[in-house]
Amino acid sequence: MGILPILSILYALFAMNMATDAVTPAQPNTLELSKKIDITLNDALAKSEDIASDNLVEKQEEEVADALGDDEDDEDAAADTPEPAGFDVEVTDALAEDDTAEVDELQGEDSEALDGDEDVAAENEETPADAPAPAELEEALSKANTSADSKGSIEKRVVGGSVSSWSLWRWQVSLQYKSGCGYRHTCGGFLVKRNWVMTAAHCVDSRRVYRVVAGERDLNRKNSREQYLGVYRIYRHPSWNKRVANGNDIALLRLRSYATVNRYVQLAVLPPANQVLRHGYGSCYVSGWGRTSTRGRISNLLRHARLPIVSYGTCRNRYWWGTTVKSTMVCAGGNGRQAGCFGDSGGPLNCHVGGKWVIHGITSFVSSRGCNVVRKPTVFTRVSAHMCWIRSLIGA
């Protein structure tokens, strides 16, 4: 073999070896680059998660601060203005324009006097029949809560409470105003005598025609238990004005006829003058057909929710209602879960005291930020603060 073929073979072998050496290092470099890319992506994801986590923590801290009702600045304080818990948005039709008389005028077209007087012996003012004690109510609430939890309807259960049975709140009435050919629910109320109903002053207007429905449970269904009673005259507290925070949010409605007291309709028991329940008293329940959430709809069924009493001193704290609350009011709730809501106005705060149900409050207002805001309990007119005025109208 000549020298040239040998040199050609050697050159070819050398070239192959060089080609091999040129390819081999590229593989680990590619893997290293891939690893670097993976590490960079992981770092970016980690940083993104850290940022998201920080944002979430900041958001939660802001929500907690907001929930605690930190209203030190003017903007937050302005957001906590009282909002009457009646006159639901769905039922605020324009008021009639042809009647501008005073509030205590006669209702409707017929201005004839009632047959007889409120002192009629046939009034038969029975004491409300025994109703379930708080322990039984708690059991019913627990069952209702469990059912609601399983369906995920927490907000509806918490704000609107539980559906009330026929044995509860038999003094409760639905206050309705004439709208077209029918009537619409606007507020609650309760029978204090067979021909007298108590409600909130902001619930009534002399330019509307009203009726009350006793024995009502389902607004969408009529039944033989219901009694329809026209309103004859409206009496608002003489010191009432349209700013509910000024207090005196109480009105008495004299009816055209007498309610029949039976197993479905009873009279409310009122407290002694100036009686005040202690802070944390837990046997009080708000009842009504109000919204089941701040932006929800009126409930067709009568519902109730447990609202422990909040003392005047606590409720007047600047982190609660501050100076908005007056000594003639009652605060109840404020845990951010259970509360009265729009449409519940005028209804009773039913408290189990001394073995019987006593009406200690008339639902008046909630926070404009929502019905169930932490440290913004539902505010009621304290009935015991107005007993002299009440007795001057309806008697002993």
pLDDT digits (tens, 9 = 90+) for 224-234: 999 999 999 99
Alpha helices in the chain, H assignment, sequence order: 3-23, 26-67, 74-79, 134-151, 154-160, 312-315, 387-394
Lowest-confidence region among 62-66, 312-316, 321-325: 62-66
Q: Which residue has the higher pLDDT, 161 or 204?
A: 204
Q: What is the pLDDT of residue 356?
A: 96
Least confident range of 44-53, 79-88, 365-374 = 44-53
Residues 6+ apart with CB under 8 A from 168: 131, 132, 137, 287, 304
Question: Percentage of the chain with pLDDT > 90?
Answer: 51
The active-site residue, picked from 249, 287, 364, 367, is 249
Supply the pLDDT for residue 285. 96
Q: Would you say residue 48 has pLDDT above 50?
A: no
In the chain, how long is the greatest CA-to-CA distance?
A: 146
- pLDDT tens-place string over residues 59-87: 433 443 343 333 333 334 445 677 677 64
Whether 345 is catalytic is yes
1: pLDDT strictly greater than 90: no
Residue 174 has what pLDDT? 97
The answer to whether residue 115 is catalytic is no
Which is more confidently placed, 151 or 176? Answer: 176
Q: What is the pLDDT of residue 16?
A: 52
CB-CB contact of 88 with 298 (8 Å): yes
Q: Annotated catalytic, 206?
A: no
pLDDT band at 388 (very low <50, low <70, confident <90, very high): very high
For the chain, the structural domain boundaries read: 21-67, 89-130+170-268+390-394
Homologous superfamily assigned to 89-130+170-268+390-394 = Trypsin-like serine proteases (2.40.10.10)
**Given the residues 174, 293, 345, 384, the one annotated as active site:** 345
DSSP 244: G
> For position 296, what pLDDT does the model report?
80
Percentage of residues of the chain with pLDDT beyond 70: 60
Read off the pTM: 0.67
Count CA within 13 A, CB hemisphere, residue 151.
10
pLDDT at 134: 58
From the list 185, 202, 304, 352, the catalytic residue is 202
pLDDT at 93: 29
**Averaged confidence pLDDT in the chain:** 73
Closest C-alpha to 157, from 333, 363, 306: 306
Instruction: Judge whether residue 32 has pLDDT over 70.
Output: no
Whether 377 contacts 332, CB under 8 Å: yes
Pairing of strands 309-310, 227-236: unpaired
If one compares 127 and 316, the residue with the highest pLDDT of the two is: 316
Is the predicted pLDDT of residue 378 greater than 90, yes or no? yes
Provide the pLDDT confidence category of residue 137 given band limits of 50, 70 and 90: low
Mean pLDDT along residues 361-377: 93
- β-strand partners of 362: 348, 381
Over range 92-120, report the average pLDDT.
34
**Mean pLDDT, to the nearest integer, of 126-154?**
44
Determine the average pLDDT of the residues in 153-174. 68
Alpha-carbon dihedral 132, 264, 383, 320, rounded to 10 degrees? 60
